[in-house]
Amino acid sequence: MNAVYLAQDPTLADFGKDPWWLVLIKVVFAFGVAVMATLLGVWFERRVVGRMAVRPGPNQAGPFGLLQTLADGLKMAFKEDILPKAADKVVFFFAPTISVICAVTALSVVPFGPMVSIFGHQTPLQVTDVPVAVLVLLACSSMGIYGIVLGGWASGSTYPLLGGLRSTAQMISYEVAMGLSIVAVFMTAGTMSTSGIVAAQGDATRLTIAGMEVPAPGWYAILLLPSFIIFFISTVGETNRAPFDLPEAESELVAGYMTEYSSLKFALYMLSEYVAMVTMSAVTTTLFLGGWRAPWPITLWEGANSGWWPMLWFFGKVIALVFVFVWLRGTLPRLRYDQFMRFGWKVLLPINLVWILVLAGLRSIEDWQTKDRLLVTGVAAGVLLLATLLWPSRGKAPKPSPQEKADSRPHGSFPLPPMDLQVPPSPRTKRVVAEREPANVAAGSDSREV
């Protein structure tokens, strides 16, 4: 059965041999996945959040409301395109396209399936692959920052500029945690090729428990559980999704970096956000969830990882991760900006560094080279990480009793508002009070004499 699986695994030598028309089909397919991800992603998010809020969501335009997002896209296309007077016209126009191009380009190195036959040609279900494909993914993710920063700067307005600066700081900080999470994958798989990482997660492993050999999962989401948790948290922050959508905080920045955008330019920004969400879900599936390989119960069927079936398992995993993105948005409130940045630099980064150091030490010991030992270590470290993230940092201070509140006030005074709500007196008020003080003192002395 393993021989069937290994025969279907593409290698770097299988790329670069396709005719031009087959490459064109793959490119169009990847672009179609990006466009359909936006149309169906918006509908999926609205339906899921509506279900969580006990309301129907879009259900009027087309069956199950599927045509609602298409109608919204047509409406955006025919809306007036407003260009602010203070905007840099060239940069203002090209900024949204940078974000879209970077998000779509990342799909070119994501494997959708194994070797298949297309019109008689044996070819992998992947546009291309290179020895440093994961670095291409990181580069596309980093370049997408420029579209947001330039869009906020070129708008010539305060709120877009603040949103662009926020997004820059946020993406840079969480890019570090994301990159360190992938280091653990490199160390375990021994390659940076996406197809090679998927093949490494399909190796047959056996775990001995109580003298019995049972199949051990080869997915890095279990073997490298801390890296998987940190990587997924970083992807949520990287894509500006709630509860980390601080660059678009409507209570503070109106709409953030896209405040001045309208019509198709605004649609491009929305397209880039949903494509980035689907792309990062696909990257997470590739690096940590076995890629296109079927989960355990389905692997009992010999043909589960051959032919076109693996595309079904791949997109099933992607949809499950997109559901988690939507679930987070419908569940958690938005963090404060200082809390979010402190969480990235002071929690995720140190934990990631310690985990990589422990993993490197274990890999250097000969007896710990097998995956069953690594499985135990990864699960134990992941449970410890979850306990660290979810454990309350400090207990709530007990509320003072009414008598304690009364005793803490100055004698004869009324309750005062919090200090941050008190307006400091103006210099003129201070001067008037100082001038009246001698008269008040004299009046007080006269009354005492009487």
Q: Would you give the DSSP letter of residue 65?
A: G
Virtual CA dihedral for 9, 12, 17, 21, nearest 10 degrees?
70
**What confidence score (pLDDT) does residue 285 get?**
92
Distance CA 151, CA 160 (A): 8
d(CA 137, CA 105) in angstroms, rounded, equals 8
Task: Please tell me the distance from the alpha carbon of residue 431 to that of residue 387, in angstroms, as a whole number.
Answer: 58
User: Residue 298 and residue 313: Cα distance in Å, rounded?
Assistant: 10
441: in domain: no
The 10s digit of each residue's pLDDT in 434-449 is 776 665 555 555 544 4
As for how many domains the chain has, the answer is 1
User: Which ranges of the chain have pLDDT less than 70?
Assistant: 1-8, 203-217, 249-252, 365-398, 401-426, 429-430, 432-433, 436-450
Decide if 299 is inside a domain. Answer: yes
**What six digits make up the tokens of 76?**
């955006």
Residue 36 CA: distances (Å) to CA of 30, 33, 173, 274, 294: 10, 5, 30, 10, 23
pLDDT at position 448 is 44
Q: Find the domain containing 114 and state its range.
A: 2-14+81-390
Structure tokens at 189: 């798989």
Find the length of the chain: 450
| The pair of three-digit structure tokens given for residue 316, joined into one six-digit string | 């099933």
Give domain status of residue 60, yes or no.
Answer: no
| Torsional class of 130: left (φ above 0), alpha (ψ -120 to 50), beta (otherwise) | beta
> 293-327 as b/e, with b when 16 or more CB fall inside 10 Å?
bbeeeebeeeebbbeebbeebbbebbeebbeebbe
Report DSSP state, residue 290: -
Asked if residue 69 belongs to a domain, the reply is no
389: which 2 tokens?
Answer: 């993230």
Beta bridge partners, 263, equal none
| Per-residue pLDDT at 351 | 86
User: What is the structure's pLDDT at 8?
Assistant: 65
The confidence score (pLDDT) of residue 407 equals: 64
> Model's pTM, two decimal places?
0.76
Can you read off the two tokens belonging to residue 329? 């948005």
| 93 CB-contact burial (10 Å; exposed 0-12 / middle 13-18 / buried 19+) | middle
Note whether residue 208 is domain-resident.
Answer: yes
The confidence score (pLDDT) of residue 12 equals 80
Q: Tell me the HSE value of 259 on the side-chain side, using a 13 A CA sphere.
A: 26
Helix (H) or strand (E) holding 73: helix 68-78
Structure tokens at 118: 């297309």
Q: How many CB atoms lie within 10 A of CB 216?
A: 19
Residue 119 included in any domain: yes
**Which DSSP string do the residues of 21-40 spell out, in sequence order?**
HHHHHHHHHHHHHHHHHHHH
Q: What is the pLDDT of residues 312-327, one digit of tens each?
A: 999 999 999 999 998 8
User: Three-state SS for 255?
Assistant: coil
CB atoms within 10 A of CB 165: 16
Structure tokens at 67: 């045509």
Q: Is residue 65 a part of any domain in this protein?
A: no
Would 48 be classed as within a structural domain?
no
